[in-house]
């Protein structure tokens, strides 16, 4: 019964948001991650000071996961995860640090993942765990700054 409701909701959402691939992908990623045992605690988190948005924030056991969702209609121009460049990673890291600080999460137990979605029928979903690591932990100074 619940699968029928999910399919009906998907059909309605796709019809209503036909051109909003990002929103459709976030909905699919949310459901996929829940099915993989993650507890979703936030969607579209933006720090009050700005500086990026995290599509999905989830817990998987004792690991806090920040998930960037990338969605494409086809894989014609490469996989969606290739769109997460260095600048996007910096923005995600800044937002992740803010969320982790506010949630009281230990930085060593934080992970940055990417969920890559191609909107074929059925959708192709790939979860890239530990896709990247930010260079500095919160409040950690670079070696050059430590010498000053």
Instruction: Find residue 43's DSSP bridge partners.
Output: 56
Could you give all domains of the chain from N- to C-terminal order, each with its CATH number? 22-133 (3.40.1350.10)
pLDDT tens-digit profile, the chain (148 residues): 666 666 676 666 555 545 567 889 999 999 999 999 999 999 999 999 887 899 999 999 999 999 999 999 888 888 888 889 999 999 999 999 999 999 999 999 999 999 999 998 899 999 999 999 986 555 554 444 444 4
Residues with Cβ within 8 Å of 113's Cβ and at least 6 positions away in sequence, in order, are 65, 66, 67, 68, 127, 128, 129, 130, 131
Q: Answer for the pair 62, 38: CB distance below 8 angstroms, yes or no.
A: no
Q: What pLDDT score does 14 carry? A: 57
């Amino acid at each position: 019964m619940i699968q029928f409701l999910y399919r009906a909701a998907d059909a309605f959402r796709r019809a209503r948001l036909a051109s909003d691939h990002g929103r459709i992908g976030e909905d699919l990623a949310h459901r996929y991650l829940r099915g993989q045992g993650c507890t979703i605690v936030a969607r579209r988190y933006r720090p009050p000071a700005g500086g990026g948005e995290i599509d999905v924030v989830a817990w998987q056991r004792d690991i806090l996961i920040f998930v960037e969702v990338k969605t494409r209609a086809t894989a014609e121009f490469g996989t969606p995860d290739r769109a997460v460049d260095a600048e996007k990673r910096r923005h995600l890291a800044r937002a992740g640090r803010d969320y982790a600080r506010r949630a009281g999460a230990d930085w060593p137990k934080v992970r940055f993942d990417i969920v890559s979605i191609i909107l074929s029928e059925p959708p192709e979903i790939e979860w890239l765990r530990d896709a990247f690591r930010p260079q500095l932990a919160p409040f950690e100074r670079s070696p050059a700054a430590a010498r000053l």
